[in-house]
Amino acid sequence: MSRELVLIPTEKSCIYLEGAGRTLTSIEWSTHINVTFQSKANYTVAKGITFTNTYNNPVLLDVNNITQAKAARISGDKCAFFDCGFLGVQDTLYDDDGRHYYHNCYIQGGTDFIYGNGQSLFEASTIFFSMGKYGPKRDGVITAQQRNSPNDTSGFVFKNCNISGTGGKTQLGRALNAYARVIITDSYLSDVIRPEGWSSVTFVGHE
């Protein structure tokens, strides 16, 4: 386990990071101001690494003070993650901008824990709602996609994924902008998902 902040700047494209496996290799930090792992470059590829933000510690945390604490921010184009983990509570994975691919990844959180304006495919991955750690009635939201116009090509696609969790109930997503787009296909949804599925927030009529 490495405790540090990692930043790949814009000019450092085509970087490949490989760990021994997501249960064996991890990069961790505790912050609500910064982000544990950030890649601004194009063509970043990572395999077998878990990125964790421990700021919202479930043992020490006042549940009324959960705040943004990003484990990863991906802003470059054509980035890919294989067998990686992303662990946090709120805003775990900031899928900021660009085209991204996540395969056989494990993504855990409680509130808006996959969010941003990326154009991304999550395939054969586990999406785990973890707010049950704070009590059985603690609810949350999985995605908060930010597509803001009908011409915007961004959106999240979840294919052959396992979407489950523990404790409270969660919505699959809520719209942060009027044209938010999330597609879930050929995936398992456990009973942790609320029956209504989605929240339009202030964008009723754009469902």
CA distance 81 to 142: 19
pLDDT at residue 22 tops 80: yes
pLDDT score of 204:
72
Q: Is 62 a catalytic residue?
A: no
pLDDT tens-digit readout, 115-133: 999 999 999 999 999 886 6
| pTM score | 0.94
Residue 92 binned pLDDT confidence (cut-offs 50, 70, 90): very high
Of the residues 95, 96, 97, 112, only one is catalytic, namely 112
pLDDT at residue 55 tops 70: yes
Q: Is 112 a catalytic residue?
A: yes
pLDDT at residue 193 tops 60: yes
The residue among 174 and 42 whose pLDDT is bigger is 42
Q: Could you tell me the residue ranges of all domains in the chain?
A: 2-55+68-199
pLDDT at residue 71 tops 80: yes
**pLDDT average, residue stretch 29-51:** 97
Q: What single letter denotes the amino acid at residue 73?
A: R
Architecture of domain 2-55+68-199: 3 Solenoid (2.160)
- Could you tell me which residues come within 8 angstroms of residue 64 by beta carbon, excluding any fewer than 6 positions away? none
Of the residues 83, 91, 95, 97, only one is catalytic, namely 91
